[in-house]
Amino acid sequence: MQERQLRELSGLILQARNPQELEDLLQGLLTPQELDEIILRWRLLVRLMAGTPQRDISQELGISLGKIARGSRLLKYGPPKFRRLAQRLYEERERPS
């Protein structure tokens, strides 16, 4: 994806004024299958960051060990900025309110 187009999309997403607007935007831009894939990927990453064994994740989410291994490699060797952001978002999510 071209850098300028990614920046434009990021700016668009940041213009959502509240969680409901963001949900409406995502539902409009993405197909139900694309949304399901993104949600599943985040759920996978959260379980990996929580230290859940891969076989348990496979059973809980109904996904292959290969897909889980790819997620694990992303968290270990993926872009450093993404890894830091994912960890921060996970920690903020897990913090008691």
Checking if the pLDDT of 97 tops 90, the result is: no
**How high does pLDDT run on average in the chain?**
95
Checking if the pLDDT of 87 tops 70, the result is: yes
Quickly state the pLDDT bin for 96 (edges 50, 70, 90).
Answer: confident
Specify burial of residue 75 (Cβ count, 10 A radius: 0-12, 13-18, 19+).
middle
Determine the residue type at 45. Answer: L
pLDDT at 37: 96
pLDDT at 82: 96
Q: How far apart are CA 86 and CA 67, in angstroms?
A: 18
Quickly state the pLDDT bin for 67 (edges 50, 70, 90).
Answer: very high
Q: Minimal CA–CA distance to 75: which of 47, 55, 54, 45?
A: 45
Q: Which residue has the higher pLDDT, 52 or 93?
A: 52
Quickly state the pLDDT bin for 1 (edges 50, 70, 90).
Answer: low
